Amino acid sequence: MSPIAPTTFGLFVLACVALALTPGPNTLLLVSRTLAQGRRAGWYTLAGTQTGLAFHALLAAFGLSALLMAVPLAYDALRIAGALYLAWLAWQTWRARDAASATVDPDAGAPAWKLYRDGAITGIFNPKVALFELALLPQFVDPARGPVLVQTLLLGVTQVLVVLPFDAVTVLIAARVHRWFASGPSSARRLAWARRALATVFGALALRLVVDSRR
């Protein structure tokens, strides 16, 4: 007997597709970062956001998300830490706006680890993702079909694999627009505006975490 019934698994895949097609904070971050910094930055940021998604799927699988939701102080600590980090990113990105006018693509050599880190921390420090995973995964788990941990891990891996190609297409589309930004006599100005948009996205995500509750 398979760990998950085929019909249940199919419904879960459809739910993941619906999730991938619904623009959220990760999509906003991927688009704005790729527009501002190019395809390379988009790929590393995508690796980071996928890490954040996998992290919360693991938390849900091992029951730690339930603990996080049950302890208001832990939830708020994660939420505020994420907001502070995003606010810092917004400030750093906005301050660097003048550098965008000095060269066509100022972030072509941005450290890969930094791009990845920003994406990963943005995902990991968003407790709303933990809440979503806690609400989604148990609906597709049937204890009668075997170990709950195995089923939940399988669902988590499936979710990451389903979301990945949709986010990858998002990066590719944004990268094409970035190439237009980086060409022609107005390239520096367009890249500067793209950087400001990225800083605004970071700030908006920070504000969203500040005002969010566990509702």
Query: Domain locations in the chain?
Result: 6-211
Q: CA dist 113 to 45, 109, 163, Å?
A: 9, 11, 22
Which residues in the chain land under pLDDT 70? Answer: 1, 64-71, 96-109, 184-188, 213-215
Q: What was the pLDDT predicted at 111?
A: 84
Q: What tens digit of pLDDT does each residue of 30-81 get?
A: 988 898 888 999 999 999 999 999 998 888 888 766 666 666 777 777 778 8
